[in-house]
Amino acid sequence: MAIKSPTSMHKHNNPPSSPWEILGHMGFLETLIRITCVGVILSELAAVAVVFPYPIALPNCPKMCGNMEIPYPFGLTEDCSRDHNFFVNCTNSSEPFIPTHIIVKNISLHGQIDISMSIAHDCYKKGAMFAWNNPWLNSPLNFTVSSTQNKFVVVGCDTVAFLVGSQQNESYATGCASVCESTRFLVSGSCTGVGCCEVDIPKGFKNVTWVSRSFQKHKMVEKFNPCGYAFISKQDTFNFSIDSLRTLRDQQMMPMVLEWAIGNETCNDVENKSNYICGDNSSCQNSEDGSGYRCKCKDGYDGNPYLSHGCQDIDECQDPSNCNHPGQGCINEPGKFTCFCIKGYHLDQSARVCVTNQSSLHFKLLVGVGISFIVMLVCSSWLYLMVKQRKLIKLRQRFFEQNGGLILQQKLSKPENSTATAKIFTTEELKKATNNYDETLIIGRGGFGTVYKGLFPDNRIVAIKKSKTVDESQIEQFINEVVVLSQINHRNVVKLLGCCLETQVPLLVYEFIPNGTLFEYIHHKNEASTVSWEIRLRIAAEIAEALSYLHFAASPPIIHRDVKSSNILLDSTHTAKVSDFGASRLVPLDQTQLATMVQGTLGYLDPEYMQTSQLTEKSDVYSFGVVLVELLTGEKALSFDKPEEERSLAIRFLSFLKDNRLFEILEKHIAKEGKAEQFKEVANLAKRCLQLKGEDRPTMKEVATELEGLRKMEMHTWVNVDSNSEEIEFLLGETSYSYKYNASNKSANVCDSVRDHVIFNLDDGR
């Protein structure tokens, strides 16, 4: 009995209830009786199939013309064909033809008909044409020259040929030329223009004429090629050779393929009409080469789909390749077949194969060994991951202690630090927040490390600074700084939220400031020209207030050491935020510190600090003075594209101020705002901040007070000009003034202060 793999039991996706399931619920005797009955039925059906093959013609209609079958919709009489276009004249059985005397060689139910057509030729002798013809094909309705089965071929050494016809009721022509002066360069099997050329046939081509002509009446090639030839040929039936130049003269006909279809409507148009002829168990397909449709038997059926009962079930069980695995039998069903387990075998549900009791035992043993191996593999992997996880936990604990985590926990637990808001984050929290430190989330790079944008589960956006190195000897000082900085709660200072000490180098977590840096704000060409002096003055006052707070309100005082425009961030309302305390130091009251290395950024460095290494708050005053000059001039603190004596903005500004040329160095658009006295006051304040000796400079508290006074003077002047009562009430009712600036929001870019640091090593220590 035939056999098939159980993995392909059903030919269709939605078969009726599976015999596998039936066999699982019926007894052995019942199964045997049913299989026996099925076998008898199959035998009867097979006998019927042998006696009665699939019909191809209408009942009581002849189906043979000589040795050729004539399937419906074609017919040998008018009554046996679909219409006159499909009538096959069999007067001469060796050359039957359809209307317009097209000689038929074979008819396929897949929509093709093989025919024979004449070869066009033009022959010359001594420059005069003595033989020629122009064959034509006037095909019946919906009979077109097949574009996939044919080629238009031209043969000759002085020949040009044209193929003229209609496509979608419009004229269409194509052709090619074949030239050669001798037979020396002709290549058999090659039809690329030397002795032979060919072109494709367009889709839907009909009513065709092909013409062959000579360029020079074959005068140059008359000896070996007096004629030129053109014909439509079925693909792979003509193979060019040198002899073709001579032998084609004696050949009259060439095989060609026509495509045929029913009517001129599509399947959607005709399926519900009375003239629709696709029979049972068939489907409709639109013609690809022209209008009309064709019929096709569904999978599992065969026969003539154009007859009402033409498509009949295929007995797949007669195919020895179906159900051919050991212990399998085959049941044929309409349109499909099913495999089942014969007597002595039963279905193994897990493997879906028919097995004997012994093979089932072996199979189960094999499955048991396999499962045991998988369990061992899983357990080994689990143990390995557990050991690896424990090592990772120990490593994190070692880093935590090495980075001062125990010290930080003790300090945060002390009563005096009860207001500290610093949090100790875990490694997993920060990995999750940064998508495992995805490079696309990097928002800043610098000498001390990289800054990532992070998102916590409560939708808080933070900036996470991943440092490059850490000095283990300064761990206690680092912890002190974290404690002190986390207690700073000033609206103009970036808030330190906490840190992570479970990595080799500690990670710092800050609040996220979304609107970029002051450097970008005043130096970006597209934005700088729109930043008014009023906004610049407010930002300067906010920076001064923040530095004054660090110097005088923080305990112990904090010297920033790297004040510059790229370390001033702007939030969504363009409020200034002093950031990046990577180079800052905590200073005991009434003391100064001697730095082992001078750190800072060229252009902003205090000259006195560079010479003495004495760290005081006046160093921040000098750097702020440079930022103030940037706000006045819109120029960068250091410009290497200028002459050496003009590279430092601070030196150049003081030079202009000394020569009473302040308005020449002011940024043009703010100079036009007409606040000359205010510009002079701010410029003089910047001059005092830039004094070479620190003792000659004002304190940040004095600077903040003076700038706030200038702002209030500006606001009061504005109030006097505009006496609108609602606006006066607004100004007098607020303790701080807010400015709105409609600049386009940029992606935040947290800049590291040491990105362009210069470091000087000194011999003496702290």
Instruction: Give catalytic residues, as residue numbers.
Output: 562
**Residue type (1 letter), 366:** L
Residue of 120, 103, 287, 111 lying closest to 208 (CA atoms)? 120
Taking the C-alpha atoms of residue 617 and residue 547, their distance in angstroms, rounded to an integer, is: 9
- Residue 204: burial class (beta carbons within 10 Å; 0-12, 13-18, 19+): buried
Q: Which of 560, 575, 493 is nearest to 753 (CA)?
A: 560
Q: How far apart are CA 145 and CA 112, in angstroms?
A: 10
Report the C-alpha gap between 413 and 498 in whole angstroms. Answer: 15
Q: What is the DSSP letter of 41?
A: H
- Backbone φ and ψ for 560, nearest 5 degrees, come out as -70, -45
Bridge partner residues of 301 (DSSP): 313
Q: Name the DSSP class of 343.
A: T
* CA dist., res. 195 & res. 76, Å (int): 43
Contact partners, residue 345, CB within 8 Å, separation at least 6:
326, 327, 328, 354, 355, 356
H or E element in which residue 481 lies: helix 475-487
C-alpha separations of 179 from 130, 176, 189, 221, 522 in Å: 21, 10, 16, 10, 75
Residues 6+ apart with CB under 8 A from 642: none
**Pairing, β 120-125 against β 128-133:** antiparallel
